[in-house]
Structure 1
């Protein structure tokens, strides 16, 4: 992903770890710690690769509060006020002709 972003020219250099913002505390804990129990058996393989990236220093997972997660309109239904707030945070504007 770092090479892709650097090739796009979005940022000149992506030398540090990529920061992933997540509002799910359970997902963060599973990705950071190698604990295993019955309920995480079906997702173990997927998070092992993410855990490897975290240990290598390629990815840093950061907790973001649910109300500050601007990607919510893309993933779940919201009230109109919250949707508009997140839309403004993303920089989406209406263009009238």
Structure 2
């Protein structure tokens, strides 16, 4: 935070915390005894515009899920990704039927699934 653009990174972090708060993603509580929290860290990234200059500073608070043990800390994993071939097929269909394809930028996304477990992060 000693860099000249520290205020821009701070604003990006504040925006992420506000988004987490606004979406009721988690609540701040005291750690119960005999509970091991998952660590987290900030992932900072500069987003560039089409001309290659900085468009915005983006910050994400990421849980260090690699510290969890399958069958103990979690039981299932999901990876919502799209194959590049699926995107190409979508564009091909849109081209064949003369459809318009719109792109949008989602500032914050959250999975719709509900957790059955209580997860604590540090």
TM class by shorter chain equals under 0.3
TM-score of the aligned structures, taking structure 1 as reference length:
0.24
Which protein is richer in helix relative to its size?
1
* Bigger Rg, structure 1 or 2: 2
Which protein is richer in strand relative to its size?
2
